Amino acid sequence: MSTSGRIHGEFLRLLFFLSKKQADDYFAALGYEAHKEEFCHRRGVFFHRNRCTIGMACAQAVALRGAPPQLVATSLPLAACRPHTLPPITFPVPTMGRVAKVAILS
């Protein structure tokens, strides 16, 4: 996959085979023989999810490449993050002096 989001043909084929295997496993776990339309829909769902996951990883890599060095040095490695979550964002806690200053300026 390129940094512009274009997917190479061989990689696209790999995503298709992965999606087909996931759809086969999905219906096997249900113990259900799917019709052609149902199977195609489920395979498309898995393909879309896999493609979006790869696209998100690529977008994060491109964003970190252009980030200032101090931000990259303090960011968590991707392996440290739990799946489907982002690292927590922390905001400075307002102190009473800052709250009073904002109230006076208002």
pLDDT value for 80: 52
pLDDT value for 4: 63
The CA-CA-CA angle for residues 68, 74, 77, to 5°, reads 105
Domain boundaries, the chain: 9-105
Q: Is the pTM of this model over 0.85?
A: no
Written as tens digits, the pLDDT of the chain (106 aa) is 665 667 788 888 999 999 999 999 999 999 989 899 999 999 999 999 999 988 888 888 877 777 666 665 555 555 555 555 555 555 555 555 555 555 555 4
Beta strands in the chain (DSSP E): none
